[in-house]
Amino acid sequence: MVLQQEAIGLNFVDVLFRSGTFPLRDFPATIGVEAAGTVTAIGPGVTNFRVGNRVGYFFSLGAYTEYRLIDEKALIKLPDHVSFDQAASLLAKGMTARMLIKEAYAVKPGDTILIHAAAGGVGSLVSRWAKHLGATVIGTVGHSIKKEYALAHGIDHVIALDVEDFTESVKTITSGKGVQAVYDGVGQSTFGKSLQLIAEGGYAILFGFASGLPKLDSALIRERKINFIQPDLGSYLPNHAAAQRAADDVFEALRLGVFAEIAPTIYSLKDAQKAHEDLESGKTKGPVIFHTN
């Protein structure tokens, strides 16, 4: 199938592919894993799509381009109420957020959770969705300039790591009781301290390592009966039908207003270098996408 791409998502995994942290198998290679656009041609044997369909995908390497060939198994059909910009902002991050709060640890009313990088693409979605499910949300942000942005996303308590000690702050907020779950996509700089803030029998969910891989305190995990989980999105989506159902759940949350307004930061694809630099330096907030024109 040929896909004309209208919006392309920027994800931290793109940085990992570019830097060689995640090795690429073949060269020359095109990075990027997420985009949305219109089907312009189909090959023999394609049964689920036709020319003109609006589609997106959340993990198929080769997204940084105006047109691309792609297998129909990678594609998700977009409902009419979801724009290309929304799809490129939500598919990977929204399905990751869904996995985190509904499957890795199912957030319940009355829970208190800690989410790191709460102003980021995944963190802001996890925060809003968890709040919708009845949780009290404590979020951290790397810089105090992001605090207002995070609070606007419905987070109950926001801790700016450049000026505040998140360990003491969380202890104060929870009256020393700790949190039911920590969602950590940062890794080395936050995970060790986060383990100390989890209530006995709670969940430590490590879904990324923007600051590097953390060292695990196995003794503390055993002592506190902490459930340590490193979720992988693919393991929760065994087939195309499961992926479409998960995407539909995300789109329904969007329709219901769970995420409020999706307002991505937009770069031209020709400015991909600048976008990567801004992402790595922590300048970006929320979802970031590229336009191809």
Count how many Cα atoms sit within 13 Å of the Cα of residue 287 in the half-sphere of its side chain. Answer: 26
In this predicted structure, the answer to whether residue 134 has a pLDDT above a threshold of 90 is yes
Using DSSP, state whether 4 is helix, strand or coil.
Answer: strand
Residue 31 predicted with pLDDT over 90: yes
Predicted local confidence at residue 205, as pLDDT: 97
Q: Mean of the per-residue pLDDT values for the chain?
A: 93
pLDDT at 160: 94
- pLDDT for res 3: 97
Amino acid type, 65: T
Q: Convert the pLDDT of each residue in 40-83 to its tens digit.
A: 999 998 988 999 999 999 999 999 999 999 999 999 999 999 99
Distance CA 225, CA 238 (A): 29
Matching residue, tokens 């490193």: 230
Q: Is the pLDDT of residue 153 over 80?
A: no
Within the chain, residue ranges assigned H as helices are 12-19, 84-99, 121-132, 147-152, 166-173, 191-195, 218-223, 240-255, 272-280
pLDDT of res. 214: 85
**% of the chain beyond a pLDDT of 70:** 100
d(CA 261, CA 254): 9
pLDDT tens digits, 162-217 = 999 999 999 999 999 999 999 999 888 899 999 999 999 999 999 988 778 888 89
pTM equals: 0.88
User: pLDDT tens digits for 114-127?
Assistant: 999 998 889 989 99
CA atoms of 134 and 154, how far apart (whole Å): 12
